[in-house]
Amino acid sequence: MTSIYTLDPRDSAVASTAALALRPASLDGKTLGLLSNNKPHSEDLLRMVASIIGERYSLAGTVEYNKGGHQWPADSSALEDLASRCDVMIHATAE
């Protein structure tokens, strides 16, 4: 019997990988970034989470950024700016 051969439709390219950032042992003294996707109430949700974290840790402060819409990635320049100003970031969506 003769075999038949067919091709794989999937992407065979090896995806690039990135290691997770090192986690701080404590949030005491850290600056917390809050990245909103501009959906209704997303900033409210982020502030609520920041408030709960603030009850448990002595945060140095918070930095809020709204990326302007949920359909597009944040500008790379904005992400670089946040990375330079914050120790940890929270990104959230809401409706």
Partner 1 sequence: MQIEQWEFKDWEAALEHYFREGLTDGLPVVPPTPERVQAMLDYCGLATDDILGTEGIRHKQFPAGKVAVSAVMAGCLPEHFPVVAAAVSAVCDRSYNFHASSTSTNGIANLVLVSGPYASRIGMNHGVNAFGNGNRANAVIGRAINLLKANFYGSVSQEMDKSTLGHSGKYSFCFAEDLETSPWPSLAEAKGFRPGSSVVTMVAANAPLQLETHGDRDPEGFLTAAAHTMLGFGPRISEVVLVISQELMAYIAASGWSRAQVAEFLHEKTLRTAGEWDDWRRMDRLPPDADRDELMGCVSGPDRITVVPAGGDAGEFMALITSWGSSRSVTREITVPT
Q: Which residues bind partner 1 (CB under 8 A)?
A: 1, 3-13, 40, 69, 71-73
Q: How far apart are CA 69 and CA 82, in angstroms?
A: 17
Best CA proximity match to 50, nearest among 69, 35, 40, 70: 35
Q: Which is nearer to partner 1, 1 or 25 (CB)?
A: 1
Q: Which is nearer to partner 1, 72 or 80 (CB)?
A: 72
Min dist. Cβ of residue 16 to partner 1 (A): 10
Q: 78 near 67, Cβ under 8 Å?
A: yes
Min dist. Cβ of residue 9 to partner 1 (A): 4
